[in-house]
Amino acid sequence: MDKKKQKRILILAVRAGEIMMKAGAEIYRVEDTVERICKACGIDHVDVFALPTGIFVTTDKGSDEDDTYTYIRRLKSSETDLNKISRVNDFSRTFTTTDMTVDEGMDVLDEIEGERKYPVSVRIICASLVAACFSVLFGGGGIDFCIAFISGAICYVFSRLLARADVNFFIRGLCCCALAAFIALVASTNISGAHYGMIITGCIMLFVPGVAITNSIRDFLSGDMVSGVGRMAEAFITAVSLAVGAGIVLKIWDIIGGITL
């Protein structure tokens, strides 16, 4: 195998792992995908070390005459997209069991990475329903459902605007939950039958890092202690930011005695 081809295979494998990691995949799944793609192309010796913030891969053919290639990809952003994880999984199975070329594989990965998400309007409606349904689940009534529906839409849009401005996840969660608490307090003060606690809880559930918590436990069980600790720390810090954001507004509201419009 010539050096150029080996390098292209390595880039392809890391690209697949990168898409999966950014979409919220587990560490073991990312490492297994990268390893399988490399071995399917005749690279027998593959060492993969993946973290939520980077992928490290070293390959060689196993003989003293062959060169060793090391590839490092730094990951700076991530979001949950289970559809991308599923599609890359399907791609890796197809690539390892058919005669798909590296160039064809890169085209498929480009298509997966560039796939359009659901329209913004659909995501806003879904976020609203999530907040509203959780408010009812935690004991709220019909009025709480309606207020949480509106508040969830506002907080989700605000979150997307902060993300577009490259605001880090701690400040983003803090600001969004502070806004949710403010809306809930104003509504409960001026609308009879509204309960601010149920409304705030419903909106907070939009930002709870459930995937990070689940993946951190899965990484611990797989023996990936470093990534498990990292993801657990991220989930803990995110949870703290949500509590701080809502808590600050509640405390200020208590100090000033509330506002009646």
Reading the chain (261 residues) residue by residue, the pLDDT tens digits are 567 777 888 889 999 999 999 888 888 889 899 999 988 888 878 888 888 888 998 887 666 666 778 888 888 777 788 888 899 999 999 988 888 888 888 999 988 888 877 788 899 999 999 999 999 998 888 899 999 999 999 999 999 999 888 888 889 889 999 999 999 999 988 888 888 889 999 999 988 888 788 888 888 887 888 888 888 888 888 889 999 999 999 888 888 876 554
Pairing type for strands 54-60 and 69-74 reads antiparallel
With the CA atoms of 97, 103, 108 and 110 taken in that order, what torsion angle do they form, in degrees rounded to the nearest 10? 150
Which residues contact residue 112 at a Cβ distance below 8 angstroms, ignoring those fewer than 6 apart?
19, 84, 87, 88, 91
Q: How many CA atoms lie within 13 A of 82 on its CB side?
A: 2
Enter the pTM of the model.
0.78
Long-range contacts of 114-119 (CB under 8 A, 24+ apart): 115/83, 115/84, 115/87, 117/81
